[in-house]
C-alpha cells in the first residue's frame, strides 16, 4: 500500500478546512442530496462528501457506506486532493498503490473509485466528492464533468454554510451589543411599528420587548410631544446610504405607567435589502436636567451671596473711610502745630500715625474698588487725554518709590504717542500699580517703561530686574488677596489686591494685562488697551473687519456679557474673513439671531438674566433659529449638557484661537459649497474626504435626480458630476439644470471614467467648466485637480456672497 504525500500547502489547507467549522457536525440534507445525485449520475452504490483532516478523512455525507471516517493513510481521497481534476482508479486490486489497502481487501471492498477535489475560493483542496463501486469500471466523459460540477456545488454549499454561521454570529453579537447598551435602542419598519426593543428600553419605558413589538414607536412619546417626532425629517442629513434625521433632539419619553421624562432622541434611517429601518436611540437626561436646575439654583445663590458680600464690603469701606480721613487730617494738623510750638518730641509719633492712616486708607480704597467691580457698580468715566503726558505724570508720582530702593528708571516713550479716549484715573492707577510693584520688588536694579501704539491699540510695558516669579507663583498672580507667597507678604507687605484690580480695570476698558517672569531674573508686565475705549452702555456691538478684508465667511453672532470677549472674537473672526455681530445678553442675542440669521452663533453660558443654557434651548425651540449651528464657549465644563441641548461644539475657556477658528470654519461655511454627484459610494466618500480636509462643506447625490433635488434646496458653489449613472445620467442632469433658477450659472466640473466621444464633448460644450478623467491621470493628479477646482469655485462663490 502506498500512502499519499501531503500537499505543499498542507498547513494553509488545514486552516481553510477548520474555517468551515464543519468537522463532526450532524448530517445536513443539502449535502446528502448532492451525494445521492452523484451516485445516481455515475451509477455507483457508494458516494461520499469526504473532508481530509490531519490524521483522518471524515464524511459529511455518505451513501452506501457505514463508517463515518477512516484513517488518512488508507484514504483514496488523500490522493484525490493532490489532483487538479477527477482522480479515477478503475481497478484498485491491480493498482500497486491500493492493491493491499484494507478498504480494498476488506469492507467496503472498493473495486472502483472516482473523486473530484473540493477546492475553496483560495485554491485549497479540503476534501472530495467521490463515488465508489465494488466492481471495476470507468466513468464516461459526461459523468466526469457532472462529478466536477457537483463538487463545485458542494464547495458552494460549504461557503453558504460558513456565511450563514458568520451572519448568525454577527446577529448574536449585535443582539448582545444592543442589550448591553446603556441607552434604549428601538428599531421600526417603514410602517412605524417597533421591530426590536433592547434591555435598556425595557427598563426605561416599562414594556417588555414582546409587549412593545408591533406597536407604534409614538407610543413611547406623550401626545403633546409627538409632533416633534414627525418633524424629524426636516433635520434630514444624507450620509452615504443612511439618513441621519437628528442627533440629541430634546423631547419627552412616556413610561408604561403614564409618567413622562426628558430624553435626548437621536434618529436615523437606512435601507437593508430593500427594507427601510428607522433606529431610535433614546437617552434619559433626567439627571442632566435636574443637575442643570441645581446648577442654576446654586449659581443664583452664589451670585446673591457675592452681591451681599460686595454690598457689605462697599458699605463697610465707606463707613471706615470717614474716620480714617479724620485721623489722617488731624495727625497732619497736629504735626504742623507741634512744629510751630517747638514740641519736636511728638513729631516722630505723629508721623507714624499719619503714615499708618494713609496706608490703611489705601487698603480700604482697594477693597472698595474690588467690591464695586464685583457688585457691578464700578463705572467708567471716559475722557480724551494725551497718553504721553499721562505717562510722565505717573512717573513723577512714583519717582520717590524708585529712589527708595536705589532703582534706575529707563523711560522709552516715543514722541507723538497720541491721544487716548479712556478712563484716565483707571489707566493711571494701572500704570502706577505696575511701577510701584516693580520698585518694591527690585533693589539696586533697572526698571524699564516702554510705550507704543499699533493702530488703535496702546501698549504699556513695565520690565524690572527684581526677584521674579516661579510658574506656580505666576498662576496665582491675579487672584484677589494673593501675592507670590507668604514670605513675600511678610517682607514686602501689601494685600495682593493691586494686580487683581488693575487686570479688572483693563478688562473693563476692553484690554488685558499679560506677564512673563523668571525667578531671580525679573518680570515683564504688558498692558494692552484700546486707544479709544467703547462706551460700556449695553448695545449691539458690531466691529467691522479691517479695510480690504472681505467677509467671505458670512456673519457670526457672538453672545457674551463680557465686552473684551467681543473685541477678541471680532479680531479672530475678521482675520479669518467672517463678520462679527455681538450681543451683551441673552435676550438681545435671541432677537439678533432671528433678525440677521447668522451662519453660526458663539454662545457663553454664564451670563446675567437669561443664561446660555436657556438661550440655547430657546434657539433650538424656534423654527427660525433651530437650524443655526451653536458653538458654546464657557468656563463651565459640561459638554454632555451642551450637546444634549443641541450645540454643535463645546469649547472651554480660556479659548484657544485655533480651536475656535476650526469650529467656525467647520460649521459656518456655506452649506453645500460643493455637490458631488456619483453613483459609486466609494468615489463620493473619497472626494468628500479630500474636500472636507480642505475645510470645504460637501453634499452628495447618487444620481442626477437626487442632484437636482439638492440644487433646488440650495445652490452649490460647484458641482462635481459623473456622467454614467442610473435613474438620470449626467447628460440629462445638465439639460434639466438649465431650467432651475440659478442652475445655468452654477459651475459644473465633469469627473468621469467614460471615454468621451466627439458627440459627448459636443453635448458638454458650454455647460461644464472642466473635464477630469478618472483614468486619464495619476490618482494624485486627479485629486490635485479636484482640490484646485473646488477651492477656486468656493472662493469665487464666497466673494459673491460678501458683495
Q: Is the pLDDT of residue 245 over 60?
A: no
Query: Between 58 and 367, whose confidence is greater?
Result: 58
Contact indicator for 430, 449 with CB cutoff of 8 Å? no
User: Distance (Å, rounded) from C-alpha 605 to C-alpha 495?
Assistant: 32
What DSSP string runs through 523-590? EEEEEEEESBPPP-S---EEEPPPTT---TTEEEEEE-S-HHHHHHHHHHHHHTTEEEEEESSHHHHH
Whether omega before 718 lies within 30 degrees of 0, making that bond cis, reads no
Count CA atoms closer than 13 A to 666's CA, side-chain side: 12
Q: Is the pLDDT of residue 564 over 60?
A: yes
User: Which pLDDT value is given to residue 674?
Assistant: 84
- Single out the residue of 773, 711, 771, 772 nearest to residue 746, CA to CA: 711
Q: Which of 162-166, 285-289, 657-661 has the lowest mean pLDDT?
A: 657-661
Across 394-417, average pLDDT: 88
What is the pLDDT confidence band of residue 368, given thresholds at 50, 70 and 90?
low
579 Rama sector, left if φ>0, alpha if ψ -120 to 50, beta otherwise? beta
User: Which pLDDT value is given to residue 480?
Assistant: 59
The hierarchical CATH code for the domain 10-166 is: 3.30.450.40
User: Which pLDDT value is given to residue 305?
Assistant: 78
Contact indicator for 450, 471 with CB cutoff of 8 Å? no
User: Which pLDDT value is given to residue 233?
Assistant: 41
Contact indicator for 586, 612 with CB cutoff of 8 Å? yes
- Average pLDDT of the chain to the nearest whole number: 82
**C-alpha torsion angle, residues 612, 616, 617, 619 (rounded to 10):** 130
Q: What is the pLDDT of residues 758-803, one digit of tens each?
A: 788 888 888 888 888 765 444 456 677 887 887 777 666 655 544 4
What is the pLDDT confidence band of residue 624, given thresholds at 50, 70 and 90?
confident
User: Which pLDDT value is given to residue 636?
Assistant: 58
User: Which pLDDT value is given to residue 342?
Assistant: 87
Residues 6+ apart with CB under 8 A from 522: 442, 445, 463, 464, 465, 466, 467, 468
Q: Which residue, chain included where needed, has cell 477512516?
A: 70
What does DSSP assign to residue 482? -
User: Which pLDDT value is given to residue 774?
Assistant: 61
The hierarchical CATH code for the domain 541-668 is: 3.40.50.2300
pTM of the predicted model over 0.85: no
Residue spans of the domains in the chain: they are: 10-166, 181-284, 289-375, 383-530, 541-668, 674-802
User: Distance (Å, rounded) from C-alpha 101 to C-alpha 80?
Assistant: 16
CATH entry, 383-530, from 3.40.50.150, 3.30.565.10, 3.40.50.1380, 3.20.20.140: 3.30.565.10
User: Which pLDDT value is given to residue 473?
Assistant: 82
User: Distance (Å, rounded) from C-alpha 722 to C-alpha 753?
Assistant: 8
Q: What is the pLDDT of residues 141-161, one digit of tens each?
A: 999 999 999 999 999 999 999
Q: Which of 145-149, 381-385, 508-512, 591-595 has the lowest mean pLDDT?
A: 381-385
Tell me which range, 360-369, 390-399, 533-542, is most confidently predicted by mean pLDDT: 390-399
What is the pLDDT confidence band of residue 550, given thresholds at 50, 70 and 90?
very low
In this structure, what C-alpha cell is assigned to residue 203? 427598563
User: Which pLDDT value is given to residue 777?
Assistant: 45
User: Distance (Å, rounded) from C-alpha 523 to C-alpha 516?
Assistant: 6
Query: Between 49 and 649, whose confidence is greater?
Result: 49
Tell me which range, 88-92, 299-303, 403-407, 707-711, is most confidently predicted by mean pLDDT: 88-92
Across 400-428, average pLDDT: 89
Q: Is the pLDDT of residue 538 over 70?
A: no
User: Distance (Å, rounded) from C-alpha 607 to C-alpha 594?
Assistant: 20
- Single out the residue of 589, 564, 588 nearest to residue 655, CA to CA: 564
User: Distance (Å, rounded) from C-alpha 612 to C-alpha 342?
Assistant: 69
Q: Which residue, chain included where needed, has cell 469655485?
A: 793
Q: What is the pLDDT of residues 430-474, one digit of tens each?
A: 998 899 889 988 999 999 999 999 888 999 999 999 988 888 888
Contact indicator for 778, 786 with CB cutoff of 8 Å? no
What is the pLDDT confidence band of residue 664, given thresholds at 50, 70 and 90?
confident
User: Distance (Å, rounded) from C-alpha 50 to C-alpha 60?
Assistant: 6
User: Which pLDDT value is given to residue 536?
Assistant: 60
Contact indicator for 480, 428 with CB cutoff of 8 Å? no
Cβ neighbourhood burial of 117 (10 Å; 0-12, 13-18, 19+): buried
Percent of the chain residues topping a pLDDT of 90: 31
User: Distance (Å, rounded) from C-alpha 362 to C-alpha 368?
Assistant: 10
CATH topology of domain 289-375: Helix Hairpins (1.10.287)
Q: Is the pLDDT of residue 64 over 90?
A: yes
349-354-359 Cα angle (round to 5): 125
Q: What is the pLDDT of residues 731-762, one digit of tens each?
A: 999 999 988 877 888 889 888 777 677 788 88
Strand ranges in 297-404 using DSSP code E only, listed in sequence order: 383-386
| Domain 541-668 and domain 674-802 have a common topology | yes
What is the pLDDT confidence band of residue 407, given thresholds at 50, 70 and 90?
very high
Query: Between 173 and 445, whose confidence is greater?
Result: 445
Residues 6+ apart with CB under 8 A from 658: none
What is the pLDDT confidence band of residue 366, given thresholds at 50, 70 and 90?
low
**C-alpha torsion angle, residues 261, 267, 271, 276 (rounded to 10):** 40
What is the pLDDT confidence band of residue 323, given thresholds at 50, 70 and 90?
low
Q: Which residue, chain included where needed, has cell 480721613?
A: 325
User: Which pLDDT value is given to residue 527?
Assistant: 94
Q: Which of 195-209, 335-349, 443-457 has the lowest mean pLDDT?
A: 335-349
In this structure, what C-alpha cell is assigned to residue 318? 465707606
CATH topology of domain 674-802: Rossmann fold (3.40.50)
Q: What is the 3-state secondary structure (H, E, C) of 660-696?
A: HHHHHHHHHCCCCCEEEECCCHHHHHHHHHHHHHCCC
Percent of the chain residues topping a pLDDT of 70: 81
Containing H/E element for 458?
A: strand 457-464
Q: Which of 293-302, 546-555, 632-641, 761-770 has the lowest mean pLDDT?
A: 546-555
What DSSP string runs through 19-74? HT--TTPPP-HHHHHHHHHHHHHHT-SEEEEEEE-SSEEEEEEEES---SEEEGGG
Cβ atoms < 10 Å from Cβ of 52 = 28
Q: What is the 3-state secondary structure (H, E, C) of 182-220?
A: CCCEEEECCCCEEEEECHHHHHHHCCCHHHHCCCEHHHH
User: Which pLDDT value is given to residue 489?
Assistant: 44
The hierarchical CATH code for the domain 181-284 is: 3.30.450.20
Count CA atoms closer than 13 A to 166's CA, side-chain side: 8
- Considering Cα of 93, then 95, then 100, then 104, what sign does the dihedral take? negative
Contact indicator for 68, 59 with CB cutoff of 8 Å? yes
Q: Which residue, chain included where needed, has cell 487672584?
A: 479
In this structure, what C-alpha cell is assigned to residue 668? 459656518
User: Which pLDDT value is given to residue 110?
Assistant: 96
What is the pLDDT confidence band of residue 208, given thresholds at 50, 70 and 90?
very high
Q: What is the pLDDT of residues 74-112, one digit of tens each?
A: 999 999 999 999 999 999 999 999 999 999 999 899 999
Q: What is the pLDDT of residues 566-602, one digit of tens each?
A: 877 887 787 677 788 989 888 999 999 998 888 889 9
3-state secondary structure at position 163: helix
Amino acid at each position: 500500500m502506498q500512502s499519499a504525500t501531503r500537499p505543499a500547502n498542507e498547513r494553509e489547507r488545514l486552516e481553510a478546512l477548520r474555517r468551515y467549522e464543519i468537522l463532526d457536525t450532524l448530517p445536513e440534507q443539502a449535502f446528502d442530496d448532492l451525494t445521492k445525485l452523484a451516485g445516481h449520475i455515475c451509477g455507483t452504490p457508494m458516494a461520499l462528501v469526504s473532508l481530509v483532516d490531519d490524521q483522518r478523512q471524515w464524511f459529511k455525507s455518505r451513501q452506501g457506506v457505514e463508517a463515518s471516517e477512516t484513517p488518512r493513510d488508507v484514504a483514496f481521497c488523500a490522493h484525490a486532493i493532490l489532483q487538479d481534476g477527477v482522480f479515477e482508479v478503475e481497478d484498485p486490486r491491480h493498482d500497486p498503490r491500493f492493491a493491499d489497502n484494507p478498504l480494498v481487501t476488506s469492507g467496503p471492498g472498493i473495486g472502483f473509485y472516482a473523486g473530484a477535489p473540493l477546492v475553496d475560493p483560495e485554491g485549497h483542496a479540503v476534501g472530495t466528492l467521490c463515488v465508489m463501486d465494488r466492481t471495476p469500471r470507468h466513468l464516461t466523459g459526461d459523468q466526469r464533468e457532472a462529478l466536477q460540477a457537483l463538487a463545485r456545488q458542494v464547495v458552494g454549499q460549504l461557503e453558504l454554510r460558513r456565511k450563514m454561521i458568520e451572519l448568525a454570529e454577527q446577529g448574536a453579537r449585535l443582539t448582545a451589543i444592543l442589550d448591553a447598551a446603556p441607552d434604549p435602542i428601538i428599531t421600526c419598519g417603514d410602517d412605524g411599528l417597533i421591530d426590536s426593543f433592547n434591555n435598556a428600553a425595557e427598563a426605561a419605558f416599562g414594556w417588555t420587548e414582546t409587549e412593545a413589538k408591533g406597536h407604534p414607536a409614538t407610543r413611547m412619546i406623550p401626545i403633546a410631544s409627538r409632533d416633534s417626532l414627525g418633524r424629524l425629517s426636516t433635520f434630514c442629513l444624507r450620509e452615504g446610504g443612511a439618513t441621519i434625521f437628528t442627533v440629541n433632539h430634546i423631547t419627552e419619553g412616556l413610561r408604561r405607567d403614564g409618567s413622562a421624562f426628558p430624553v435626548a432622541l437621536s434618529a436615523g434611517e437606512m435601507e437593508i435589502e430593500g427594507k427601510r429601518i428607522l433606529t431610535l436611540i433614546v437617552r434619559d437626561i433626567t439627571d442632566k436636567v435636574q443637575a442643570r436646575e441645581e446648577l442654576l439654583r446654586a449659581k443664583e445663590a452664589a451670585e446673591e451671596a457675592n452681591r451681599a458680600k460686595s454690598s457689605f464690603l462697599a458699605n463697610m469701606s465707606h463707613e471706615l473711610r470717614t474716620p480714617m480721613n479724620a485721623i489722617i487730617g488731624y495727625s497732619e494738623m497736629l504735626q504742623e502745630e507741634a512744629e510751630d510750638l517747638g514740641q519736636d518730641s511728638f513729631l516722630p509719633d505723629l508721623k507714624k500715625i499719619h503714615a499708618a492712616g494713609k496706608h490703611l486708607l489705601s487698603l480700604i480704597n482697594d477693597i472698595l474698588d474690588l467690591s464695586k467691580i464685583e457688585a457691578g457698580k464700578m463705572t467708567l468715566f471716559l475722557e480724551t487725554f494725551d497718553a504721553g503726558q499721562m505717562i510722565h505724570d505717573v512717573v513723577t508720582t512714583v519717582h520717590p518709590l524708585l529712589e527708595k530702593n536705589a532703582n534706575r528708571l529707563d523711560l522709552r516713550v516715543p514722541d507723538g504717542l497720541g491721544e487716548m479716549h479712556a478712563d484716565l484715573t483707571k489707566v493711571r492707577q494701572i500704570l502706577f500699580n505696575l511701577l510701584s510693584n516693580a520698585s518694591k520688588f527690585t533693589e539696586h536694579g533697572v526698571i524699564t517703561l516702554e510705550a507704543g501704539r499699533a493702530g488703535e491699540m496702546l501698549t504699556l510695558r513695565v520690565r524690572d530686574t527684581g526677584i521674579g516669579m516661579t510658574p506656580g507663583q505666576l498662576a496665582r498672580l491675579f487672584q484677589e488677596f494673593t501675592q507670590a507667597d507668604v514670605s513675600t507678604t511678610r517682607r514686602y507687605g501689601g494685600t495682593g489686591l493691586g494686580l487683581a484690580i488693575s487686570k479688572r480695570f483693563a478688562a473693563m476698558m476692553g484690554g488685558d494685562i499679560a506677564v512673563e517672569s523668571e525667578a531671580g531674573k525679573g518680570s515683564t508686565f504688558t498692558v494692552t488697551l484700546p486707544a479709544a475705549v467703547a462706551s460700556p452702555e449695553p448695545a449691539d456691538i458690531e466691529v467691522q473687519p479691517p479695510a480690504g478684508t472681505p467677509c467671505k465667511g458670512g456673519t457670526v453672532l457672538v453672545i457674551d456679557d463680557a465686552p473684551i470677549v467681543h473685541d477678541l472674537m471680532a479680531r479672530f473672526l475678521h482675520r479669518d474673513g467672517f463678520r462679527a455681530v455681538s450681543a451683551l445678553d441673552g435676550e438681545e442675542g435671541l432677537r439678533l439671531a432671528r433678525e440677521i440669521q447668522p451662519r453660526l452663533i458663539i454662545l457663553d453660558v454664564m451670563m446675567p438674566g437669561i443664561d446660555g443654557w436657556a438661550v440655547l434651548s430657546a434657539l433650538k425651540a424656534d423654527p427660525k433659529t433651530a437650524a443655526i449651528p451653536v458653538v458654546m464657549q464657557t468656563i463651565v465644563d459640561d459638554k454632555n449638557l451642551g450637546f444634549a441641548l443641541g450645540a454643535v461644539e463645546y469649547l472651554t475657556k480660556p479659548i484657544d484661537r485655533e480651536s475656535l477658528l476650526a469650529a467656525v470654519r467647520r460649521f459656518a461655511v456655506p452649506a453645500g459649497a460643493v455637490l458631488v454627484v456619483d453613483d459609486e459610494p466609494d468615489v463620493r466618500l473619497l472626494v468628500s474626504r479630500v474636500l472636507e480636509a480642505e475645510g470645504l462643506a460637501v453634499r452628495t447625490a447618487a444620481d442626477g435626480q437626487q442632484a437636482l433635488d439638492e440644487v433646488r434646496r440650495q445652490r452649490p458653489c460647484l458641482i462635481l458630476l459623473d456622467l454614467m449613472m442610473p435613474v438620470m445620467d449626467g447628460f440629462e442632469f445638465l439639460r434639466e439644470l438649465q431650467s432651475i433658477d440659478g442652475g445655468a450659472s452654477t459651475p459644473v466640473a465633469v469627473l468621469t471614467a467614460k471615454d468621451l466621444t466627439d458627440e459627448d464633448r459636443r453635448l458638454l460644450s458650454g455647460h461644464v467648466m472642466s473635464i477630469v478623467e478618472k483614468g486619464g491621470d495619476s490618482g494624485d493628479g486627479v485629486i490635485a485637480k479636484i482640490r484646485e477646482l473646488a477651492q477656486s469655485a468656493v472662493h469665487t462663490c464666497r466673494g459673491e456672497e460678501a458683495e
